[in-house]
Amino acid sequence: MQILLANPRGFCAGVYMAVDVVDQLLQLLPGEPLYVFHEIVHNRHVVGRFVDRGVSFVERVEDVPEGSIIVFSAHGVSPAVRHAARERGLRAVDASCPLVLKVHAEAIRYARKGFQILLIGHRNHQEVIGTSGEAPDSIQVVESPADIPGLRIHDPDKLVYLTQTTLSLDDAEVCIAALRRAFPSIQSPPASDICYATTNRQQTVRALAPRCDLVIVVGSANSSNSVRLTEIARSAGTPARLVDDSGGMDPSWFDGVARVLLTAGASAPEDLVLGILQRLIDDHGGAIEQHDVYREDIEFGLPASLKGLMRERGVDPDSRRIRRLDSDDSIAAWAAERSVQFSTVDLTVGGTR
């Protein structure tokens, strides 16, 4: 079987940063209890591995003992959560992705100017809850065009839309077009809120899925961007399956499949991708072709709140940087160790984004 491996796939800069924040805290505070508000990223394995190392994940600030350290997850939190943590005397380390915080800042800015904000996204997603909390009286969530008739609009000339960072580009476009039809003078954000990692992974699947008989997406069911990748593959006409790991694959999926595309959502670790590759090679043999569509070299620094804690504990934050766990070379080395045929195909359509 021919295995096409999507590149980029898996961890984005925000996930590398958030995962590394928890990892560095565990090293900095050995034996001390560590709490994370909500799943640090939406991946069952990432969360399970931290639980095994003693991290507690909570959904309510009230569940954290006073004076403890609490990490805010990559999805961001509302000011109400920050306030509740302060009131409880918790020490907060903020691992919110800077690209999520950019949307928070836009929401605050437009609300201060008296705009009503239509936030396109999934109402119950942690990111949308956090962003909405920045200006709850000014923000209404729009999940689909069906929500438009129920909106309460005071002045159609003081209206702006923002979006969740991990939406499907296609679905967002449908929603934005419907909003423009309903409110022709609605303003758009200065730049798309859908982040570079979401965009690149979706465009890569859109380009490669039509050449394949099946698409496997590595990711958890509550990972918005992973689920979107399966939807994009299906809308390109190719069946798609979302799996947490190699144990989730059913041999019957591969009946009659000559070419499979393997990709991973932004919160899925590369070792899970390798586990699936191993299973595919064991069961079906064949060669791996990595298709490089976008180059990514975005990297975020350590959050200021973590740097402050490091200084207090006598660690120079300048001696630390976000550890990238994977590299382009690792997959080639992995294949070479197993004598698996591996090659790359340069389809780069976008430079560094």
Question: By the criterion CB under 6 A, which residues form the site for ligand SF4?
Answer: 12-15, 74, 97, 99-100, 165-166, 195, 197-198, 225, 266
Structural contact between residues 108 and 84, judged by C-beta atoms closer than 8 angstroms: no
143 is an active site residue: no
**Looking at beta carbons only, is 10 or 133 nearer to ligand SF4?**
10
240-243 and 139-142 as β-strands: parallel, antiparallel, unpaired?
Answer: unpaired
Residue 89, φ and ψ in degrees, nearest 5? 75, 25
Residue 274's nearest CA partner among 9, 1, 2 is 9
Q: By C-beta, is 15 or 268 nearer to ligand SF4?
A: 15
Counting every residue written for the chain, the total comes to 353
Shortest reach from residue 218's CB to ligand SF4, in Å: 15
Backbone angles phi, psi at 189, to 5 degrees: -65, 160
d(CA 214, CA 326): 25
CA–CA separation, 50 and 37 (whole Å): 13
For residue 250, the minimal CB distance to ligand SF4 (Å) is 28
H-helix or E-strand spanning residue 334: helix 328-337
* DSSP designation for 205: H
Q: Would you say 257 or 298 has its CB closer to ligand SF4? A: 298
> Shortest distance, CB of residue 5 to ligand SF4, whole angstroms?
20
Shortest Å distance, C-beta 201 to ligand SF4: 9
Whose Cβ is closer to ligand SF4: residue 165's or residue 168's? 165
CB 61 within 8 A of CB 37: yes
**Alpha-carbon span 171 to 168, nearest angstrom:** 5
Beta carbon of residue 15, minimum distance to ligand SF4 (angstroms, whole number)? 5
What is the side-by-side strand order in the sheet with 139-142?
A: 139-142, 116-120, 159-163
User: What residues form DSSP beta bridges with 285?
Assistant: none
Q: How far is the CB of 7 from ligand SF4 (least distance, A)?
A: 16
Helices (H) and strands (E) in the chain, counts: 11, 13
Residue 81 or 266: which CB sits closer to ligand SF4?
Answer: 266
The residues pairing with 242 across neighbouring beta strands, listed in sequence order, are 217
Which of 226/238 has CB closer to ligand SF4? 226
Q: Which residue is nearest to ligand SF4 (CB)?
A: 14
Which of 106, 127, 134, 270 does the annotation list as catalytic?
Answer: 127
What DSSP designation does 313 have?
T
Q: What are phi and psi of 135, to 5 degrees?
A: -155, 65
> Which residues are part of the catalytic machinery?
127
